[in-house]
Amino acid sequence: MGFESFIGNSNTVELLRSMMTKQRLPHAILLSGPAGIGKYTLAQMLTKAIFCVNDQKHNAAEFCGECRNCRLIALADDRHAAVERAEEEREKLSRRPREIPLRIQHHADLCLLPPNGPLRHFQIEQARYLKEALTFLPASGRKKVFILPEVERMDEAAANALLKSLEEPPPYALLLLTTASEASLLPTIRSRCVTLWMAPVQRQHVCEFLKRSGVGADQRERELRAALSNGCPGAAQRMDLEHYLSVRESLLALLHAGASRRDFAGLFRHTQNLSREKERLENLLRVLYSLLQDILHIETKANGEPLRNADRPKELLQIARILGPAGAAAATASLSSLERNLRRNVSMQIALEAFAVSLAPLRLSAVRDRH
Ligand SMILES: [Zn+2]
């Protein structure tokens, strides 16, 4: 137990620990990195280290995982389960539960303010609650910590309300924000935080972590999870592999049919399957993006990294040869219009078919450009 159990990004971990040892923790820290890399886990660990009351520990910037405080904080280690429980509780409280700021608090000086509701949004009520709560001194005499995961899931009004707390935080405040999409945050939010970046972890380390956690039937599955999650341990662990692979098969078929202008009957079958599953939009776009990235790199090996969908090289190469690098790049760029369509509630089937049909002309223009 302790920081040594954190997978990868040791520079970031050591930086945090040294800031803590020197009592130089800033008032607001933004942990930025891909989903499932461990931003929230690291925030939890730091918080445990701050409140750990184990007098046997030899390093101030460490936690035991066993004392009363460590165990209380650990109640929210599984954030998704904690949010689900808190939402259920809130439903019982009022007829308009969504106006109540969702907060998860197991320790007097630690509060988790997660995005919530059907749209998984950070509420303006949560930002107001934070401002109010910051005016109270910490009960422990140490710090008052607020964890705000996925801060990109916040509209401008909520972000502006949050800014007030970031502008003049009291000396005991520690706001731990996380994001997988730093670019979409308001610059005023970013500039008031100290940003620490977290990068994908070597696949071999992800595999070892999965093995220790008892995830994956065999080494082959663990390697596949590590590759598909692009070196994000949490994502590799949580991934519903069977479901992921079935979505990926449909998307591969869609790319192939669209690019080669063949097998449109098969294409419709796959888009129908995808829309019937009510696949979560973000997930779908993520899988599609990872396929297109691989297609873009498979021939050029431009980024020198192993493929994410390393178990399907033949299919990827086939599509790459049809589309060409320019076509693959254009297809990646057109993902944003697919996303816009889907967010505008255009039916998923129609939006996906339009995307597939748009691939063939990309190929033609790529060919034209070459001549
Ligand atoms: Zn402890």
**Domain coordinates of the chain in residue numbers?**
3-199, 240-370
Residue 369 has pLDDT above 60, yes or no: no
Q: Are 252 and 235 in contact (CB under 8 A)?
A: no
Q: How far is the CA of 264 from the centre of ligand 1 (A)?
A: 59
Q: How far is the CA of 41 from the centre of ligand 1 (A)?
A: 16
Q: How far is the CA of 198 from the centre of ligand 1 (A)?
A: 25
Q: How far is the CA of 72 from the centre of ligand 1 (A)?
A: 10
Q: How far is the CA of 31 from the centre of ligand 1 (A)?
A: 23
Judged by DSSP in three states, 261 sits in: coil
Element holding 106 (H helix, E strand)? strand 104-107
Q: Please give the pLDDT value at position 94.
A: 84
**How far, in Å, CA of 317 to CA of 110, rounded?**
50
Question: Rounded to whole angstroms, what are the CA distances from 24 to 2, 92, 138, 254?
Answer: 20, 42, 18, 52
Please tell me the least confidently modeled range out of 45-54, 113-122, 357-366: 357-366
345's torsion region: left (phi>0), alpha (psi -120 to 50) or beta? Answer: left
Q: Please give the pLDDT value at position 302.
A: 60
Residue 257 has pLDDT above 70, yes or no: yes
Q: How far is the CA of 30 from the centre of ligand 1 (A)?
A: 24
Q: Which two tokens stand for residue 43?
A: 């925030």
| pLDDT tens track for 70-80 | 999 999 999 99
CATH, range 240-370? 1.20.272.10
Q: How far is the CA of 213 from the centre of ligand 1 (A)?
A: 22
Q: How far is the CA of 108 from the centre of ligand 1 (A)?
A: 15
Q: How far is the CA of 122 from the centre of ligand 1 (A)?
A: 30
CATH superfamily of 3-199: P-loop containing nucleotide triphosphate hydrolases (3.40.50.300)
Residue 251 has pLDDT above 60, yes or no: yes
Q: How far is the CA of 39 from the centre of ligand 1 (A)?
A: 20
Q: Please give the pLDDT value at position 153.
A: 93
Q: How far is the CA of 68 from the centre of ligand 1 (A)?
A: 7
| pLDDT tens track for 270-307 | 888 888 765 577 788 889 999 999 998 887 766 667 88
The pLDDT > 90 percentage for the chain reads: 67
| pLDDT tens track for 180-222 | 999 999 999 999 999 999 999 999 999 999 999 999 999 999 9
